[in-house]
Amino acid sequence: MTEPTTLEGNNLPFEHQLWNDLGSASTQSITSDYTQWTMMSWLGRINYSLLDRYLLTASLRYDGSSRLAEGHKWVAFPSLALGWRISQEKFLIDSKIVSNLKLRLGYGVTGNSAVDPYSTEGQIQASRYNWDKTVGVLGYEPYTLANKSLSWETTEQYNIGLDFGILQGRISGTIDVYNQRTYDLLMKRSLPAVSGFTSIMQNIGETKNKGLEISLNTTNIHSGKFMWTTDITFATNKEEITMLASGLTEDLANNWFVGHPIDTYYDYVAAPVVWGYSREDMEEMEKFRENRSIFRPGDIRIVDLNGDYRIASDDREIRGSKMPKQTVSMANTFTYGPFDLYIFLYGAFGQIVYWDPGVGLGGRYNTYAVDFWTPAHTDTKWLAPHSDMQMPSNITAMHYWKGDFLKISDITLGYTLPGSLTTKIRIQRARLYAKVQNPYMFTKFEGNDPEGAIAQQRNDNGDLESYRDAPFTMRIFMFGLNVSF
């Protein structure tokens, strides 16, 4: 339950009166709100272990959420996990090579009811108008479309996993393979505004996720004072919509396509080079002109995908997804006597970033320095500057970028002072270190950081809102001392 109340006053006669006489402020505003939602869960679990080798965990949740529609509030979520500690079997228990080996099989159903409270009812909201010049009137207009069948989004997952440890744990790791099916996916779906509502929260369809996750921890060298360990993780996931509740295979307004991830971009495609003065370009432009798609040298060259010599809505195509296809990380730790060195890398591959570099070349605002077109400097990627003109149409076609990156995100070098020295001053341990965060990134992305730029989404009008400038990733140098008493 939330019940926020805010009291606001501007232009107080005396600052030192603080909030104690807001009534004397020349402009005042008061807001308050009330939201209540509840959840109720019943949980039963059975753990069973046979001979310390065969493990079984079965559970059943029965969850109810106030946010969902009558008749759809309660859902049961069963799960079952089977484990087999193979390394405890007679044929392996004495093995010198295998120290741990466990096979896991799992099945489970989980749920999500993350919709705004009161979504199942048609809500109304205040709108302001006035008859009298000074005294206003509050109207109440319809605000949301009721959804009387809003129900749990449920995900059914099968997974097989293997935990292993070899050579007294010098090599250990896990491998997991999973297959998820999510149905009654809860998403905001856009609607034709003719009904007065531009969107509704709905169970919109089904998705499938298949993935593989591997983590590997190794002690590569351990001899005398020197030790080198490596931790590697790798994950890959493939998400696709398998069915839309609307029955469509392509929902253009929401950018949902069966066979593609939920976050899929769909737009025009810009050719790598803008229109120019070449005879070939001029002839092409003339053919477009006949169909009233009018371009001039220096304009963005939108690819005419269907070759009908006009740029229309059917020249849009899927431009990729913001979800990475693979993510990896690697941590290396070296110690030699009192010295330690830590290097951490991570990366993501296969994602497309929607990033608007703010290059309209309208001459009014500062923009990135880009290679733009002039009559004397043709064959550029960016268009000709236009004096005092709004954003060129379809410029969003130029805002899709490959976002692959690999970052060295942390390098730390430490030195632990000899115990003989520190105990004299009653210090258990003292370590000096030097650290650099984000020293380097390998990427072809042209903005600041492809990671930050991913954080964009669609607004209520269906426009993509992106960071014009993704937040800068800072490179940080640190020198420090760890002391424990």
Partner 1 sequence: MKTLKKIILFAGLMLLIISCEDFIEEKGYNSDYTYYETAEGLDALVASCYQQTRWCASFETHYALADMGTDIFMLGGDGSHRDAFGQYLSSALTPNNTLLRDFWNNNYKGIASCNLALDYVDDNTEMLETVRPVRKGEALFLRAYYYYELAIHFGDVPLNTTPTDKPKTDFYRVPQKQVWHQIISDLRQAWELLPWADASGLVTNDWGRASKGAAGHLLAKAYMFRYCDKYAKNQSDVNMNEDRGGKETDIDSVIYYASRICNFGEGAGSGSNHSLAGDFATLWGWDPSIGLIAEYMGPEILFSVNFSTNHFYNNYSVTDVNNGGNWLHMLYTAQLENYPLSTSLESGDNVIWGNNVGRVRDFLTDRPWRRIAPSPYYYSEEGLYAARNYESGKPGKLIDSRLYKSHVWVLYCNDENVDVPWSAYSNAAGSFDPADIGMTEGDQRYGVGDTAILLSIEDVTGRFANGSPKEKLALARAQEKYWYVPMQSIQVPTDRGNVGGYDVITNNFPPLIKHLDDRRAGIQDQAGFKNFIRMRLGETYILLSEAYARKGDFTNAAGALNMVRMRAAWKDGEEKHCHYWKYDGGTYDTRTTSTENDMTVSAGFLGSYTDEQLTDFYLDEMGHETAGELNRFDLLARYGADFWKERIEAHNYWTVGTINVFHRFRPIPQYHIDNLDPADPNPQNYGYF
When binding is defined by CB under 8 A, the residue of 61, 189, 301, 319 that contacts partner 1 is: 189
Beta bridge partners of 221: 228
Beta carbon of residue 396, minimum distance to partner 1 (angstroms, whole number) = 9
- Which residues, at least 6 apart from 422, have a Cβ–Cβ distance to it below 8 Å? 428, 429, 430
Q: Which is nearer to partner 1, 89 or 121 (CB)?
A: 121
Q: How far apart are CA 169 and CA 265, in angstroms?
A: 45
- Burial classification of residue 88, based on how many CB atoms lie within 10 Å of its CB (0-12 exposed, 13-18 middle, 19 or more buried): middle
Q: How far apart are CA 80 and CA 61, in angstroms?
A: 12
Q: Which amino acid is at 388?
A: D
When binding is defined by CB under 8 A, the residue of 379, 461, 478, 482 that contacts partner 1 is: 461
Going from the C-alpha of 234 to that of each of 176, 217, 273, 376, 443, the distances in angstroms are: 11, 12, 37, 49, 19
Task: Choose the binding region for partner 1 from 183-191, 216-224, 346-354, 443-451 (rule: CB under 8 A).
Answer: 183-191
Binding mask 279-318 for partner 1 (x = CB under 8 A): -------------xxxx---x----------x-xx-----
When binding is defined by CB under 8 A, the residue of 128, 279, 424, 426 that contacts partner 1 is: 128
Residues from 33 through 52 that contact partner 1 (CB under 8 A): 34-40, 42, 44, 46
Residues from 84 through 123 that contact partner 1 (CB under 8 A): 117-118, 120-123
Beta carbon of residue 98, minimum distance to partner 1 (angstroms, whole number) = 35
Alpha-carbon torsion 18, 20, 26, 30, what sign? positive
Tokens representing residue 443 in the block: 């990427």
Q: How far apart are CA 232 and CA 241, in angstroms?
A: 30
Q: Which is nearer to partner 1, 71 or 224 (CB)?
A: 71
Beta carbon of residue 140, minimum distance to partner 1 (angstroms, whole number) = 4
Residues from 200 through 219 that contact partner 1 (CB under 8 A): 200, 202
Q: Which is nearer to partner 1, 66 or 378 (CB)?
A: 66
When binding is defined by CB under 8 A, the residue of 93, 124, 370, 434 that contacts partner 1 is: 124
When binding is defined by CB under 8 A, the residue of 220, 242, 374, 393 that contacts partner 1 is: 393
Beta carbon of residue 184, minimum distance to partner 1 (angstroms, whole number) = 15
Q: Which amino acid is at 320?
A: G
State the DSSP H helix or E strand holding residue 282, giving kind and residue range, or none if neither.
helix 279-290
**Residue 238: what are its φ and ψ, rounded to 5°?**
-125, 120
DSSP 35: B
- Which residues, at least 6 apart from 448, have a Cβ–Cβ distance to it below 8 Å? 469, 470, 471, 472, 473
Q: Which of 116, 123, 321, 322 is nearest to 202 (CA)?
A: 116
When binding is defined by CB under 8 A, the residue of 137, 282, 476, 478 that contacts partner 1 is: 137
Beta carbon of residue 258, minimum distance to partner 1 (angstroms, whole number) = 14
Interaction of residue 374 with partner 1, rule CB under 8 A: no
Beta carbon of residue 453, minimum distance to partner 1 (angstroms, whole number) = 23
Beta carbon of residue 363, minimum distance to partner 1 (angstroms, whole number) = 8
**Residue 2: what are its φ and ψ, rounded to 5°?**
-125, 140
**Strand, coil or helix: 316:** coil
# residues near partner 1 by CB under 8 A: 82
Binding mask 142-181 for partner 1 (x = CB under 8 A): x--xxx----------------------------------
State the DSSP H helix or E strand holding residue 153, giving kind and residue range, or none if neither.
strand 153-166
Tokens representing residue 297 in the block: 């040298």
Q: Which is nearer to partner 1, 268 or 405 (CB)?
A: 268
Task: Choose the binding region for partner 1 from 79-87, 334-342, 383-391, 404-412 (rule: CB under 8 A).
Answer: 383-391
Torsion (CA) 305, 309, 315, 320 in degrees, nearest 10: 40
Q: Which is nearer to partner 1, 298 or 447 (CB)?
A: 298
Beta bridge partners of 109: 156
Torsion (CA) 297, 303, 305, 306 in degrees, nearest 10: -10
Q: Which is nearer to partner 1, 99 or 394 (CB)?
A: 394
Task: Choose the binding region for partner 1 from 225-233, 278-286, 456-464, 471-479 (rule: CB under 8 A).
Answer: 456-464
Beta carbon of residue 96, minimum distance to partner 1 (angstroms, whole number) = 41
Interaction of residue 190 with partner 1, rule CB under 8 A: yes
- Encode burial over 147-161: b for 16+ CB neighbours within 10 A, e otherwise: beebbbbbbebebeb
Task: Choose the binding region for partner 1 from 171-179, 185-193, 229-237, 429-437 (rule: CB under 8 A).
Answer: 185-193
When binding is defined by CB under 8 A, the residue of 248, 331, 427, 432 that contacts partner 1 is: 248
Interaction of residue 246 with partner 1, rule CB under 8 A: yes
Q: Which is nearer to partner 1, 266 or 334 (CB)?
A: 266
Task: Choose the binding region for partner 1 from 92-100, 190-198, 277-285, 334-342 (rule: CB under 8 A).
Answer: 190-198
Beta carbon of residue 92, minimum distance to partner 1 (angstroms, whole number) = 32
Q: How far apart are CA 467 and CA 356, in angstroms?
A: 7
